[in-house]
Structures are given as structure tokens and as C-alpha cells.
Structure 1
Amino acid sequence: MQRPPTSAVLSAILAFSMWGVLPVYWKQIGHLGAGISIAQRVVWTLVAAVLMLLWQGGLKAWLVALKQPAVLRTHALSAALLGINWGVFIWGALNGHILECSLGYFLNPLLNVLIGCLLLGEKLTSWQKISITLAGLGVGIQMIAVGRPPWIALLLAFSFGFYALVRRRSMQGPLPGLATESIIALPIALAFLAYWSGQGRHIFGTASLHDVAYILGLGLITAVPLLGFAHAARKLPFSLLGLLQFLAPTGQFIVGAFVYDEPLSPVSLMAFGFIWTAVLTFCLNLFWQGRKPAGP
């Protein structure tokens, strides 16, 4: 196996590390509320994406693609799924559910495998079946621990899993696709911001340097890790990328448990134990597959 490019490994680590500590960012503007935070994220993500497209020389091609009805239909659906994912994650981060958010992103890769099996006709290996079974047991134990389905984790896993499925149908790359999703969602975001402003809500928080800087930075904290991930995905073996992606939920778990002291009962810890065992099994399977010599 060839040694993976250092730039690609560092790009993946940067992307997943940023996603791992993202709850800390949302806490800084938590006084805005989840709704305003999401709407502002749409606006400034579009600004950042358009500027990056201009810098890369891809703005004209993106504008041409916007005239294609098929592109708009595909990305309208992906924008809706991404909006659900963003909304649930931000609400969870602001309301003391960072640990459950991390559970969703631990589950996501396993769910992607299941989606591939059920909807794309892909075959499950024996180890993947074991991983999914262990993850299912972990979810069941978490239901017992909290007395309800872990709906935040499940919504995050399913929304991002089906978002990835929809994006497979698009010919647009990560950055143009994000720009298209953002411009489709822009009228809704602006309408909500106008409504809340009319109701006397402070859509730029206290208008302090702190709040304005964090709001303007929403585009960068959305686009930068996405570009890092896109670069890594093109250069790294799938097995290595699959291993590195668990840095994000691991970071979220550490932030929730040790930075914000979210409660973790023994039963919940047992549920995470099953999830982590499922993840370990999944990663080992990826690693072994990655080491197999390619066929003729």
C-alpha cells in the first residue's frame, strides 16, 4: 500500500477536528437561539462559498449549473436534509445534548453501510453485519437509559446519511453543491431573519465585536472543513478516511462530557460501549479491506 499524501491526511484531521469541536463554537452564540443561528449560517455560508468559487475560478460554471432544473431539484432535497441536520445539531448543542449528537455521528457511517445495502444493492460483509447489530443494541440500551428513543442521534444519522445519498446523484462538487444548497435556502433564511428582526429579536446578538465576528465566521467554519474533507476523500484510501472520520464524534463526546459536564449515566456509558465496539469492528474491517491487494 502506498503511503498516503501528508496533505490529505492533515486535511482530513483538520476537517474532522473542526467538526469535533463545533459545539464550542455554537455555545459562543447560543444567546441568539438555534433559529437565528441556522439562518445566519445559511447566509454566511453562501457568502464564503461564492468567494471561494470566485477565487478558484469556478463561479461562472456554478452560475451556469444553476439554470439546470435537475440540479435545482436534487439540491433542493439535499438542502432540506442538510437544514434538518444543521437544525438538530445546533439545537442539541445549545440545549445540553452534545453527547447524543456525538452518538448520531458515531452511528452515521454504520447507517451509510445499511443504506447502501438496502437502497443501492451493496453487499454487507459478516463484520459489517456484526457492527450494525452491535450499534442497534447500543441504541436500544440508550433508549432504556433516557426513557425515550435517542431522536437527536437518529435524526442526525438519518438526515446526514440520506443527504450523502442524494448528493451522489449530483454532478456538482462539494463547494459548488454547498453554494447551490445555500442559495436555495437563502430566501427562507432571509425571510426568517426579517421576521425575527421585526419582532424585536437581535439577529446580530449584542452587535459586539464578539458576536459579529462569530456570526461572520459561520461561513468559514462550514466551508473550510468541507473542503478539507473533499481533498482528503480524493486522495486517501477509503479505509483510512473511514478511520479518521470518527475523530469528529470523538471530539464531540469529549467536549460534551468533559468541557460542558453533560451527565453520562452507567447505562448510557454501556450504550456508548456497544457503539464504540461496533465502530471498532467497522474500522478493523475497513483496515483489513484496505490492506488486501487489488485484483487484476
Structure 2
Amino acid sequence: MNPEKTSANATLSAVLAFGLWGVLPVYWKQLGHLGSDVALAQRVVWTMATVLPLLMLRGEWSGFLRSLRDVRLVGAHAWSAFLLAINWGVFVWAAQHGRIIDCSLGYFINPLLNVLIGSRLLGERLTGLQKLSIFSAACGVLTQLVLVGHFPWIGLLLAGSFALYGLARRQSPLGSLPGLAMETVVGIPVAVVYLLWAQQSSLPIWGTASAHDLLLIIGLGIITTIPLLGFAHGARQLPFALLGVLQFLAPTGQFLVGALMYHEPVGSGALVSFGLIWLGVLLFCGDLWLRKPSKA
């Protein structure tokens, strides 16, 4: 296989994944009348309905069934499923309640938080630029509290839950698709019970039941799975430095969607805060670029 073609395909897959994550708030806005709790439960159901057939098509079904008999592995994925549910729930709620820019803050911070967790829990050593990037992002968070006047709980909860989710997934032998399937299998009883209760309580679990709403609800599994597979393909093929830079496409897209499309307010204090966080991102990307392996 042509290495240049492989690299181009991997880059395109990663750009597609991060690009879709960047505009995903638009999708959730379309389901705002569904409510974030019902939308989250529907997402679990339709994600499972999407990933299980994919496991069969990719020939991973028998291995997945064997993994379900491993009690410790199922328990580990119950923990990662809990973290993923927090992340999904907060993101959906924030997107539907005019807090998309707060979401972008969380995903700008997330890679820097990953570096901090790696140094504290995995014994990885921080470079000078990495320390500066984390310090700059921390100053940005404090600026939110001092100048903007509110604690950035949405951004920190998104960044923290996704960083811990990444740490939990790191300790699992399952790939991205079997791992997501395991997490949806673990979460499906809660999601189904909640949807049944919601229906009994006369909540609109199918929205308006129009073709538009039904297609959006069924599509929840697709918009969850496609970016994940694109990211997994890119992560296997691309240099870490390039992947590290590309991942900032998602929060950049979210920030632009919130500010330009939905006209969420961005005051001077918020700009100072984001400026410090963006400085941390630039330092982080600079460190990745300086440490990239040179070609022979």
C-alpha cells in the first residue's frame, strides 16, 4: 500500500472526526425540544444499534462476545461508561442551553489535562513548554472565575470526564469499536428503563414524531460512531504531533458555532480567558512540533 496515500487517508479521517465533533452542537440544537436526558438515553440505544452490526461486519463479533464473559473487563467498562455518560450528558445539556462556547473551553483544556494526568498518574515527564502550557491554561480558568464572574464548571467537567475516560480506556485491551459496544451494552438497561419511564410520564421520547425528529433520533448512533472510527483510524496512522494539533479543530469549531451561528456572548473577560487558554494550546502544539521525530 502506498504510504503517502495511507497518510492522506488517515489525515482525512482525523479531520472528518474532529470536524464533525466541532459542529455536533448544531445537531443537538435540532433536538432541543427532546430534552437532554431523553436525548442522552436515545443516544445510548441507537449507538448500540449501530455498533453491534458493525462488529459483525468487521468480524469482531465473536471476540466481543468472549469479552462479555470477562467480569473484570465488564466492570472496567462500566466505569468508563459512567464517565462517558457524564461527558455526553453535560455536552448535550450545554449545547441545548446556549452554552456551546463553554463546551469549547473544555475541549481546549482536555489535551493539556491529559498531559497533566500523564505526569501525575502515569509517571510521564513534563517538558518546560508543557509546564508553561498547563500554567497558561490554569490562568485562563482562573480568569473565568475572576473577570467573567462564574466558575467554568461545564468546561472543567467536560475536560475532566473525558480525560478520565481516556485514562480508563487506556487500561482496556479492547479497541475503539468493541470498547464503545461494551459501554453501550453496560448502559443500555439504564437507558431503556429511563425511556420506558419517560414514556409512561408522557414525555416526548420521539420528539414531535415527525419524520425530521425520527431521522435525527435514529441518526444519533451514526453521528456518535463515525467520528470515533475516523479518530481511531487517524490515531493508528498519524504522528502524535499531527494528531495533537488536529484535535483542536473540534473546540475551534464549537467556539465558532457558538459565537457566530448562535450569537452566544463573548465578553472581554471571556476573551482574556480564552486568550490564555489559546496561548497554552500554542505552547502545547509548539512542544509537539519540536519533539516530532526527524526523518532519516
Q: For 1:37 and 1:65, locate their aligned partners in 2 and report how far apart those are by CA, in whole Å.
A: 28
Aligned 1:26-45 pairs, distance under 5 A: 26-45=28-47
Q: TM-score, normalised by structure 1?
A: 0.97
Query: Which residue in 2 is equivalent to 1:89?
Result: 91
Map 1:1-296 onto structure 2 (within 5 A): 5-292=7-294
- What SS does the corresponding residue of 2:124 show, helix, strand or coil? coil
Counterparts of 2:265 and 2:186, CA distance in 1: 38
Q: Which runs of 5+ in 2 are unaligned?
A: none
SS in 1 for 2:233: helix
Instruction: Give the deviation of 1:177 after TM superposition.
Output: 0.3
* Whole-Å separation in 2 of the counterparts to 1:151 and 1:293: 43
- Contact 1:4–1:236 at 8 Å: present in 2 too? no
Secondary structure of the residue that 1:290 maps to in structure 2? coil
Does the CA contact (< 8 Å) of 1:42 and 1:182 recur in 2? yes
Within 1, Cα distance between the matches of 2:66 and 2:232? 22
Unaligned runs of 5+ in 1: none
Q: Residues 4, 274 of structure 1: CA spacing in aligned structure 2 closer, same or farther, 3 A cutoff?
A: farther
In structure 2, distance between residues paired with 1:181 and 1:145: 39
State how far apart, in whole Å, the 2-side matches of 1:163 and 1:23 are.
21
Shift of 1:51: 1.2
Query: Secondary structure of 1:171's partner?
Result: coil
The code of the aligned residue for 1:197 comes to: Q
- Alignment-mate amino acid for residue 209 of structure 1: A
1:148-192 C-alpha deviation (Å, 9 max, x unpaired) = 210000000000000000001100000000000001000000111
Cα distance in structure 2, aligned partners of 1:89 and 1:205: 19
For 1:272 and 1:148, the matched residues in 2 are separated by 14
Equivalent residue letter for 1:23: P
Relative distance call for 1:281 and 1:4 in structure 2 (3 A) is farther
Identity %: 54
The structure 1 segments of at least 4 consecutive aligned residues displaced by more than 2 Å after TM superposition are 291-294
Write the letter of the residue equivalent to 2:67.
Answer: A
- When the two structures are superposed, what TM-score results if normalisation uses the length of structure 2? 0.97
Contact 1:17/1:248 (<8 A) preserved: yes
Looking at structure 1, the residues matched to 65 and 222 of structure 2 have their Cα atoms a distance apart, in angstroms, of 21
The answer (yes or no) to whether the contact 1:145–1:265 under 8 Å persists in 2 is no
* Structure 1 residue 63: Cα displacement: 1.1
Q: Which amino acid aligns with 2:223?
A: I
Cα separation, 2, equivalents of 1:157 and 1:146: 19
Deviation at 1:291, TM superposition (A): 4.1
Q: How many residues are paired up?
A: 294
Contact 1:108 1:158 in 2 (8 A): yes
Amino acid at match of 1:148: H
- RMSD of equivalent CA atoms: 1.4
Name the amino acid aligned to 1:38.
L
